[in-house]
Amino acid sequence: THQEFVSSSLNRSRYWARSLRGWRYFDGASPNPAHRALGVLEEAGYVEAVITQNVDGLHQRAGSRNVIDLHGRNDEVVCLTCSRSRPRAGYQEELEEVNSTWMDTYLPPQEVMDIRADGDAHLDVSSFDGFVVPPCKDCGGVWKPRVVFFGGSLNSAVKLQAQNALLGAQALLVMGTSAKVFSAFSLVKLAAQAGKPVAVVNIGETRADPLISPALRMHLRCSEALLALCRHLGLQV
């Protein structure tokens, strides 16, 4: 959680050690057909904006231009003291440089890993005492990924940007989320209150289901629904 990260140097060591291990897998991820279809739909004028809870930047890689990263981006880090930001890739190099001995000891080569959506990797390591977390060279502060951890607050400017994008659109399409997190559910509520059509594409129940018409509820995979929509519109993905 956010509080655990900011309150404990041990927790920060644990986080960055796991992230160091998972970063190359996270950074090497590629957009899937759903990402690419959204980019095509935006280019054709059907999508006004993409508001995403994901932190991987794959929508941008797939060609979407107007992307609102509701929970931030994992490819940047920010200093909690002076607010300086830098690319995560550069911080990765620094982490690897100062922890080369620790990596040789605790991180034997592995082909299969348990990787979370934010690049966090499971490690069977009992102690992180020897792991070094490099501080900000400008002020000595703590580096944190530019993402919203559980218990953290959304950036107010990003929240307003998402709300304005929603209110300026004709409808809302909710895809691939249970909408259990309030940051996402609040946008569904806002759309419903504004009288905008809301469609949901997700396998499994969502928190948004009671607010929408059953006719606009589809139990499909995102790629399946979006590729079918593109075909219907005569768009090549």
Give the residue numbers of the binding site.
Answer: 79, 82, 136, 139
Structure tokens at 49: 């904006």
> Given 59, 71, 122, 232, which residue is catalytic?
71
Q: What contacts 48, CB < 8 A, 6 or more positions away?
A: 42, 66, 165, 168, 169, 170
- Binding-site residues for Zn(2+), in ranges, read 79, 82, 136, 139
> 3-class SS at 140?
coil
CB distance 6 to 80 below 8 Å: yes
Structure tokens at 169: 């659109």
For residues 28 and 85, give the distance between their C-alpha atoms in angstroms, rounded to a whole number: 22
For residues 46 and 20, give the distance between their C-alpha atoms in angstroms, rounded to a whole number: 39
For residues 1 and 3, give the distance between their C-alpha atoms in angstroms, rounded to a whole number: 5
For residues 136 and 223, give the distance between their C-alpha atoms in angstroms, rounded to a whole number: 41
CB distance 141 to 79 below 8 Å: yes
CB distance 55 to 169 below 8 Å: no
State yes or no: is 71 an active-site residue: yes
Query: Which residues does the annotation mark as catalytic?
Result: 71
